[in-house]
């Protein structure tokens, strides 16, 4: 999914398109002390918590900021505060030509990206494209994407901490998970929506009742948007510090998660201050249950075989992935 800064949202785009919402966000149980490589698998944390919390029928919003512990463990909750998000109208007429305009930002293989306004801030809002999706599949796909994003954010924190404890000076990286949430509005029918052959006449603001909201990243001026590697690729970005950092991070994730979890399709925005904010990650897991993109253990094994350590991997003393995890000491670093 490409993000761009043209096609700004105006007040005309959002008039009469204010929706009351309910949403879920993760909360943190802080950890203290030395860095620990223990990994809490998805089956014991994020998945069950998300689905349990979303069974509640309420018109409320959980507005606490999404923060996670180093293991990536999350628990989604709801509060009892009503809130409003402003969504553009008539945006589908611009999606056909791919022009970022009128609140429309981009279209990927599976979802649309819109520019919305929440708490006086511009945000990116995602929904699945109607072709091949239903209200239920849209909901589940976005929840799965959110789980991966939050898990990735926790793993980024563990990587930054590990580098610090190893005495390795790095810029650090993060994911745009701060302030992200899954929202549901009662103003859009939860059932299946009719397909529109002529999308120029489609005036709907939302296609489904559930949507994903994340911070909107700037990609203009001195900010550089960059794709490091795709869903079924092993990163080999030895050309500069940013590429090496992402490759080392991907290595850390596989080791940290004991070969049960890896991040893929890594892309992000490099700032003029050498900050690196990643977005829209995918995952491959031992249980092959993180989403439709999840190719399971074969991709993790492929990464272990193809990854080539760079100087950051070496300085951080990352585990040799060609060796079996059964002999890994899994000690605090």
How far is it, in rounded angstroms, from Cα 175 to Cα 266? Answer: 10
Question: Percentage of residues in the chain with pLDDT exceeding 70?
Answer: 70
Q: Is the pLDDT at 320 greater than 80, yes or no? A: yes
Phi and psi angles of residue 42, each rounded to the nearest 5 degrees, phi first: -60, -35
pLDDT, position 286: 95
Q: Is the pLDDT at 39 greater than 70, yes or no? A: no
How far is it, in rounded angstroms, from Cα 237 to Cα 245? Answer: 9
- Residue 250: band (very low, low, confident or very high) from pLDDT cuts 50, 70, 90: very high
Phi and psi angles of residue 64, each rounded to the nearest 5 degrees, phi first: -65, 145
- Residue 45: band (very low, low, confident or very high) from pLDDT cuts 50, 70, 90: very low
Query: How far out from the chain centre does Cα 272 lie?
Result: 22
Look up residue 221 and give its two tokens. Answer: 């001026």
Supply the pTM of this predicted model: 0.79
**Domains located in the chain, CATH noted:** 11-157+171-215 (no CATH), 224-327 (3.20.200.10)
Phi and psi angles of residue 245, each rounded to the nearest 5 degrees, phi first: -65, -45
Query: Which residue, among 73, 71, 49, 72, has the nearest Cα to 62 in the 3D structure?
Result: 49
Q: Is the pLDDT at 309 greater than 50, yes or no? A: yes
pLDDT average, residue stretch 10-15: 54
DSSP bridge pairs for 117: 86, 122
pLDDT, position 98: 75
Rg, the chain, Cα only: 20
pLDDT, position 188: 72
Helix, strand, coil: what percent of the chain each, to 5?
25, 20, 50
pLDDT, position 20: 56
Phi and psi angles of residue 46, each rounded to the nearest 5 degrees, phi first: -65, -45
Lowest mean pLDDT among 28-37, 111-120, 140-149: 28-37
How far is it, in rounded angstroms, from Cα 169 to Cα 274? Answer: 13
Angle in degrees, 0-180, between the axes of helices 241-256 and 135-165, rounded to the nearest 10:
100
CA dihedral 225, 123, 265, 149 (to 10 degrees): 140
- Residues 85 and 118 sit within 8 Å (Cβ to Cβ): yes
Q: Is the pLDDT at 29 greater than 50, yes or no? A: no
Mean pLDDT of the chain, nearest integer = 78
pLDDT average, residue stretch 284-306: 95
pLDDT average, residue stretch 262-275: 95
Look up residue 199 and give its two tokens. Answer: 């999308």
Q: pLDDT, tens digit, for every residue of 187-205? A: 776 555 555 555 666 778 8
Residues counted in the chain: 333
Tell me the three state secondary structure of residue 137. Answer: helix
- Residue 43: band (very low, low, confident or very high) from pLDDT cuts 50, 70, 90: very low
pLDDT average, residue stretch 248-269: 96
How far is it, in rounded angstroms, from Cα 49 to Cα 26? Answer: 9
pLDDT, position 58: 26
- Residues 253 and 261 sit within 8 Å (Cβ to Cβ): yes
- Residue 70: band (very low, low, confident or very high) from pLDDT cuts 50, 70, 90: very low
Query: Across the chain, which distance is largest between two alpha carbons, in Å?
Result: 61
- Residues 319 and 304 sit within 8 Å (Cβ to Cβ): no
Q: pLDDT, tens digit, for every residue of 85-115? A: 999 888 888 887 777 878 888 888 889 999 9
For residue 331, the tally of other CB atoms under 10 A from its CB is 8
Higher pLDDT, 35 or 320: 320
pLDDT, position 49: 28
């Amino acid at each position: 999914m490409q993000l761009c800064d043209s096609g700004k949202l105006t007040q005309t785009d959002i008039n009469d398109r204010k929706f009351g919402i309910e949403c879920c966000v993760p909360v943190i149980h802080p950890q203290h002390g030395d860095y620990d490589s223990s990994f809490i698998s998805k089956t014991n944390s994020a998945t069950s918590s998300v689905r349990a919390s979303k069974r509640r029928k309420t018109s409320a919003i959980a507005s606490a900021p999404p923060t996670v512990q180093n293991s990536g463990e999350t628990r989604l909750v709801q509060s009892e505060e009503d809130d409003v998000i402003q969504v553009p109208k008539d945006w589908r007429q611009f999606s056909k030509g791919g022009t970022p305009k009128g609140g429309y930002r981009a279209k990927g293989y599976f979802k649309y990206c819109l520019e919305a306004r929440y708490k006086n801030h511009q945000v990116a809002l995602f929904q699945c494209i109607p072709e091949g999706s239903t209200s239920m599949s849209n909901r589940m796909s976005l929840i799965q994407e959110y789980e991966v994003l939050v898990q990735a954010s926790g793993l980024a924190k563990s990587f930054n901490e590990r580098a610090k404890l190893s005495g390795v000076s790095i810029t650090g990286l993060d994911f745009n998970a701060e302030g992200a949430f899954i929202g549901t509005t009662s103003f859009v029918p939860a059932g299946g929506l009719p397909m529109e052959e002529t999308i120029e006449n489609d005036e709907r603001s939302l296609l489904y009742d559930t949507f994903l909201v994340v911070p909107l990243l700037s990609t203009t001026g001195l900010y550089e948007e960059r794709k490091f590697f795709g869903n079924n690729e092993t990163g080999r970005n030895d050309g500069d510090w940013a590429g090496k950092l992402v490759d080392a991070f991907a290595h850390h994730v596989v080791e940290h998660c004991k070969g049960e979890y890896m991040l893929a399709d890594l892309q992000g925005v490099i700032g003029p201050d050498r900050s690196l904010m990643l977005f829209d990650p995918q995952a491959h897991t031992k249980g092959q249950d993180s989403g439709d993109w999840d190719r399971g253990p074969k991709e993790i094994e492929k990464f272990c075989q193809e990854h080539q350590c760079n100087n950051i991997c070496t300085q951080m003393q990352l585990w040799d992935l060609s060796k079996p995890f059964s002999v890994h000491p899994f000690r605090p670093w």
